[in-house]
Amino acid sequence: MAFEPVYEVAALDGLQKSSTQLVVEAKLVPPHGEEINKVLGISAVSTVSATEVFSGEARIKGKVDFRITYLSADNSLCYLEYTASFADKINDDGISGGNVCLFSKVIDTDITSLAEAEMKLSSVVEIFLLAFTAKRIKYLSYGGDGLYTHRKDYDFTTCVCHFTAGAKVNVKMPPDVRYAENRAVISSCVAGDGMVTVSGDVITDYMTDAERLSVVTPFSVEIEANGSKEDFMACCNVFVENTEVSSDAEGYDVDVAICGFVSQSNSFSPVVDAFSLSNELIKGEETTEYSVLKNCFVFSDEVEGTVSLSAGMPLADNIISTPGFEVIVTGGYALDGKAVIEGMVRLTAVYFSNETSSESSVNIEIPFSLTKRADVTEGDEVTATAEAESVSCKIRRGSDIDARATVSVNVFVSKKCSATYLSSIAEGDPIQSPSCAFSVHVIGKNETIWDVSKAIGLSPEDVEKQNPQLKQPFVGGERVVAYRRREKSERS
């Protein structure tokens, strides 16, 4: 037997999620001479970026933009803002240098202290990253002449590149804006030859002395992505990083941060079993577990709910604003052909009551379970983030307020896989040739032509040649005859 084993290496880039939570605190002090009489609404929005990424560790920095809506001592409607910065790190063995995509979301905000001259807030921020874990395996790809091998195909994902970029979006607004809230959503992320095109919208809700309005400003940016091709998969996250008054004084320049990655679907075919007609084989078998990125997509859907004002609250006559709304994803799972995303929209409706001739507010929670048809299978892992495209409230009756939100969901789907393969092989003792001229093998249930060949010591080609009546797949119970050529011994 010409024993010449050849080994190859496969890099199985699996998508892995790592997360952490931290508490960010802020102290908001109204302008000199003003007092906080009544808090109507609180909003907190977080952003995060990576400062350094090492093997096993990602160092991050970010900020939380706090805003409160309140009534002053003279019952004037006022707004107060404060930005708190933070730094942290995420430790995980699956993190490799550079290849991370970060997400953050404020999941809860509480008032920890309230006085006329100041307010202290505390927000719980959840941060998670998606990273490709590079797992390299060495497998047998060829054994040499006379060695019969059985192979199996396995799918895996290769991370082609990781990209970061920014887009400056000019949002047109009137000069008399009292406050504005900006957020960014993705509409598409498409891979091309050497580039990725990311499109989306910056959604701005703002309040003037006369009315509350919303403006949608689309953006599209082409990002260099070395190694990308049109048939590859591109996924990304976008968020508003900074806002400043534009140079033409006709609105604001909104800085949108973009991070993502391009992946390629691959497969490899390792030798999973082998036998020889002349020698026993010493085989080393290994099994490795990894994940495969199957799909990523964005979709939008509407959710709605109703809140009834509790006893003692003034009746609502006019909705003034909806500050502080947020979308929290609590989980996601896959059914066959469907991805299900569950979560909640939280918002505050500030309204005017003729009954008290003043503003009041009510908190509204809208739980949701959204279903999207997609290339998913039950058991796949579904990770999602969400942002509100629009939020509106309508007074149905004085004591009932209907709320509706359009939610944009960014979904990542992966599946757990395992691969069993031969990692080593060596020649063993010679095999003694059978003394019989032929033998009969009864095929067992679930046996394949490979199993039969190993059992009777013939190559798969010889088994089929000597038994042309066999039809695959076998049902079990078929008889296979193995004929062997015998040399006649010389008479002395």
Judge contact between 45 and 106, C-beta under 8 A.
Answer: yes
Task: Provide mean pLDDT across the span 400-404.
Answer: 95
Across the chain, mean pLDDT equals 89
- What is the percent of the chain where pLDDT is above 90? 52
Per-residue model confidence (pLDDT) at position 145:
79
Pick the more confident residue, 59 or 486. 59
pLDDT tens-digit map of 130-143: 888 878 899 999 88
Q: Indicate the domain borders of the chain.
A: 433-483
Residue 260 has pLDDT above 90, yes or no: yes
| Nearest-angstrom CA–CA distance, 161 and 99 | 8
| Nearest-angstrom CA–CA distance, 44 and 68 | 9
Task: Provide mean pLDDT across the span 126-131.
Answer: 89
Per-residue model confidence (pLDDT) at position 486:
52
Per-residue model confidence (pLDDT) at position 436:
75
Q: Which of 67-76, 256-265, 333-342, 412-421 has the lowest mean pLDDT?
A: 67-76
Judge contact between 332 and 384, C-beta under 8 A.
Answer: yes
Per-residue model confidence (pLDDT) at position 261:
93
**433-483 CATH:** 3.10.350.10
Per-residue model confidence (pLDDT) at position 221:
96
pLDDT tens-digit map of 431-484: 877 777 788 889 888 888 888 888 888 888 888 899 999 888 888 888 888 887
Instruction: Reply yes or no: is the peptide bond before residue 434 cis, omega within 30 of 0.
Output: no
Q: Where are the beta strands (DSSP E) in 115-175?
A: 119-142, 147-151, 154-172
pTM metric for this prediction: 0.84
Judge contact between 487 and 461, C-beta under 8 A.
Answer: no
Per DSSP, the three-state class of 464 is helix
Task: Provide mean pLDDT across the span 258-275.
Answer: 93
Angle at 36 between CA 31 and CA 39, to 5 degrees: 125
At 403, the pLDDT band (50, 70, 90 cuts) reads: very high
pLDDT tens-digit map of 311-320: 889 999 999 8
Per-residue model confidence (pLDDT) at position 387:
94
Structure tokens, 161: 């590149």
